[in-house]
């Protein structure tokens, strides 16, 4: 950011203050699910991956997936294994080969990507039929993995050692036994600096806008239907889960013995107790946290003016910095310079990237020079934790789109564009949030933070 812009930003942020207003939450229109990726879109993803492999000197890429870690494979193929594991073998001179268990073979039809496929019995659950099939060593040898080859292993994380991998050891052992060189190549798809999944296309953003709309509408129903005496399971039922793939478990926690990340347990919602909940689909995680309260008397003294209000102000400053080219370290500083750790306990990154997985990675950390880029889909996930005030949250999705990408969305997905534009206008004119032109709010709850959960029409705004 140029020096003059830095001074203007600092001056602007210094005078911003929160207030609580009463409004009717806006309606942005029904979002329709975009079509699934066709063969051309998936082939383009594979082609980009093969090109990145060539730049890195890789002859093969082994992409592993299981039920909890399917995002990389789902992006490449639009297939996510159910019940079992799967392994995709990419090489430049043949169609992709995918290995699946017994029960996933029929599910492969979900993918339109031209692929070779084979049932690998060891991916099937215990005691299912294990008919005679090729061994991994035979498969790898016939795919050309051997002396002179260099294989990239894609799991779900990278590690300090370039050879460390989270693929099952029996797979890594078979790769090692071939004599091929190998390395952890998860960053090829997931690195915040240059991972292929970190810059979404217009089609991907349109899909994530759909999932954000569905998840945020669920959250709205939960907040507006919240009543003392309900159970947390009654609250979750208000979400009306519609069958979209979940990227993380839905949660709802309340009461003095609440446990972070826990599922609903039958606990009674009581006035004057904390509550948090989330709904998480592919590309969307909508979360709100606060007090089951009608007003200040039901929450700890000073909750609004000393805790939740300053948090909203800090998020306003964070959003104002969410610009193409802003280093992630500046976003980190925007939060931690305003919300001291001893009061807010913000330990995790102040925002992160989201995709088919709820946490793809984050360019936001102390000293990060990784810039915000067009195509990034950001989660406004900044998590305060206090033994006195509990928490508050403005957790929604936003896409970062440069001029060319905005034009592509506007032309190819006009209804999605219209909803994003309407959310931007509402956030600016009603909530007083300053959003850079490249920020496209994907969620219908974007910026809507009620300090008292039993009065959801009372929300924070900037003066």
- Give residue limits of the domains in the chain: 3-30+196-462, 39-190
What single string gives the DSSP state of each residue in 153-214?
Answer: EE-S---SSTT---S-HHHHHHHHHTT-EEEE-THHHH-TTT-GGGS--HHHHHHHHHHHHH
pTM for the full model?
Answer: 0.94
Under CATH, which number does the domain 3-30+196-462 receive?
A: 3.90.230.10
431 Cβ contact list (under 8 Å, min separation 6):
447, 448, 459, 460, 461, 462
Q: What is the pLDDT of residue 258?
A: 80
Task: Give the separation between CA 449 and CA 454, rounded to whole angstroms.
Answer: 12
Q: What is the pLDDT of residue 104?
A: 95
What single string gives the DSSP state of each residue in 377-428?
Answer: EEE------BTTTB----B-EEEE--HHHHHHHHHH-HHHHHHHHHHHHHHH
The CB density around residue 385, as the number of other CB atoms within 10 Å, is: 14
Task: Give the separation between CA 453 and CA 288, rounded to whole angstroms.
Answer: 9
232 Cβ contact list (under 8 Å, min separation 6):
252, 253, 254, 264, 265, 266, 267, 269, 275
Q: Crossing angle, helix 309-320 and helix 328-336, to 10 degrees?
A: 160
Averaged pLDDT in 10-residue chunks for the chain of 463 residues: 53 70 96 94 98 98 96 98 95 97 95 97 92 90 97 97 96 97 98 97 98 98 98 97 93 88 92 97 98 97 96 97 98 98 97 98 98 98 97 98 98 98 98 97 98 98 94
Task: Give the separation between CA 461 and CA 445, rounded to whole angstroms.
Answer: 13
Task: Give the separation between CA 20 and CA 460, rounded to whole angstroms.
Answer: 5
Q: Hey, what are 104's tokens?
A: 């996933």
User: What separation, in Å, do the N-terminal and C-terminal C-alpha atoms of the chain show?
Assistant: 25
Contact criterion met (CB below 8 Å) for 175 and 153: yes
434 Cβ contact list (under 8 Å, min separation 6):
12, 316, 319, 320, 428
Q: What is the pLDDT of residue 16?
A: 59
Checking DSSP bridges between strand 181-184 and strand 150-154, what pairing results, if any?
parallel
Q: Which CATH class is domain 39-190?
A: alpha beta
Contact criterion met (CB below 8 Å) for 235 and 277: yes
Task: Give the separation between CA 415 and CA 445, rounded to whole angstroms.
Answer: 18
Closest CA to 105 of 94, 95, 92, 116: 116
Q: Hey, what are 372's tokens?
A: 């915000």
What single string gives the DSSP state of each residue in 228-259?
Answer: TT-BHHHHHHTT---SPPBSS--EEEESTT--
Question: How far from 425 is each of 18, 306, 409, CA to CA, in Å?
Answer: 18, 28, 17
Q: What is the pLDDT of residue 15?
A: 55
């Amino acid at each position: 950011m140029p020096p003059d812009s830095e001074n203007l930003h600092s001056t602007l942020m210094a005078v911003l203050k929160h207030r609580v207003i009463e409004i009717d939450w806006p309606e942005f229109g029904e979002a329709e699910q975009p079509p699934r990726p066709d063969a051309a879109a998936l082939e383009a993803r594979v082609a980009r991956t093969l090109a990145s492999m060539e730049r890195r000197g890789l002859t093969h890429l082994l992409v592993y997936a299981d039920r909890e870690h399917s995002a990389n494979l789902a992006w490449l193929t639009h297939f996510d294994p159910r019940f079992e594991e799967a392994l995709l073998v990419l090489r430049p001179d043949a169609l992709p080969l995918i290995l699946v268990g017994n029960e996933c073979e029929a599910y492969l039809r979900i993918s339109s990507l031209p692929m070779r496929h084979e049932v690998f019995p060891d991916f099937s659950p215990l005691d299912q039929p294990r008919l005679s099939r090729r061994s991994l060593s035979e498969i790898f040898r016939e795919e050309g993995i051997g002396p002179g080859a260099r294989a990239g292993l894609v799991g779900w994380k990278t590690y300090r050692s370039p050879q460390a991998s989270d693929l099952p050891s029996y797979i890594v052992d078979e790769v090692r036994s071939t004599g091929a060189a190998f390395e952890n190549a998860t960053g090829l798809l997931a690195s915040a600096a240059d991972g292929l999944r970190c810059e979404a296309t217009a089609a991907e953003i349109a899909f994530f806008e759909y999932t954000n709309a569905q998840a945020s509408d669920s959250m709205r129903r939960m907040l507006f239907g919240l009543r003392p005496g309900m159970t947390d399971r009654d609250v979750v039922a208000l979400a009306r889960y519609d069958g979209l793939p979940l990227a993380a478990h839905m949660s709802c926690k309340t009461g003095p013995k609440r446990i972070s990340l826990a599922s609903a347990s039958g606990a009674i919602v009581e006035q004057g107790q904390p509550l948090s909940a989330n709904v998480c689909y592919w590309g969307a995680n909508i979360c709100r946290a606060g007090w089951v309260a009608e007003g200040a008397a039901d929450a700890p003294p000073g909750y609004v003016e000393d805790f939740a209000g300053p948090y909203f102000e800090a998020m306003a400053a964070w959003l104002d910095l969410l610009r193409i080219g802003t280093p992630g370290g500046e976003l980190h500083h925007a939060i931690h310079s305003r919300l001291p750790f001893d009061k807010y306990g913000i330990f995790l990154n102040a925002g992160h990237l989201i995709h088919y997985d709820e946490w793809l990675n984050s360019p936001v950390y102390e000293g990060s020079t990784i810039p915000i880029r067009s195509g990034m889909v950001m989660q406004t996930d900044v998590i305060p934790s206090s033994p006195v005030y509990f928490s508050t949250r403005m957790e929604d999705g936003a896409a970062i789109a440069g001029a060319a990408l905005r034009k592509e969305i506007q032309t190819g997905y006009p209804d999605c564009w219209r909803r994003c534009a309407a959310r931007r206008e509402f956030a600016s004119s009603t909530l007083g949030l300053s959003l850079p032109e490249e920020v496209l709010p994907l969620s219908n709850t974007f910026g809507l933070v009620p300090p008292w959960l039993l009065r959801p029409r009372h929300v924070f705004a900037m003066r």
